[in-house]
Amino acid sequence: MYRAVTWLALERHVDLRDTGALTSLAEAARLTIEPARVLVDGIDATAQLRSPEVGEAVSLVSRVPGVRHAMVAQQRRLAAGGRVVMAGRDIGTVVLPDAPVKVYLDASAGERIRRRHDELLAAGKEVSLEDVRTELALRDEIDSKRETSPLRPAEDAVVIHTDDLSLDEVVERILELAKCS
């Protein structure tokens, strides 16, 4: 959802340093989450959400308290509909602190860089490993040090280190946790 607001800000040429404009944009944005699609004000923005431009800007947008407040409200509305799986850097600590199952997926910096690099290459983006390393380090620093909802695992989250796990193995572990709740 933060990537969706970031994409919208970039599309509308909103100054990413203007916290008031970003807050207003986030409050007015109509985000619709569908299986495999994210609609922003009725536009399918799914393919653009992982673009390098959005990746470089998302931490700047997501650290704005008003943007976070608007997104948390939307995320809670989505969760109010019943059983839901949500992914995000503050879901277990801020958005749904009473969720029955909380999982914090972790990977080493090297593995995260490799995965993101592969993802960008598969999407046809030419980017160096060093550029990916710089982008991820900056995002982690901003997200970990922001005043509102800093990146950290919930105290009661199960931490799964994913370096040596396939996607299917990660999903299986999460499903096992969900069955036990």
- Domains in the chain and their CATH numbers? 2-180 (3.40.50.300)
Look at residue 152 in the predicted model and tell me its pLDDT. Answer: 87
The two beta strands, 37-40 and 43-44, are antiparallel
Q: Among 42-46, 79-83, 86-90, 146-150, which stretch is predicted with the lowest mean pLDDT?
A: 146-150
Q: What is the pLDDT of residue 84?
A: 84
Mean pLDDT over each residue of the chain, to the nearest integer: 92
Threshold 0.85, pTM exceeds: no
Write the DSSP string, 70-125: HHHHHHHHHHTTSS----SSSIIIII-TT-S--EEEE--HHHHHHHHHHHHHHTT-
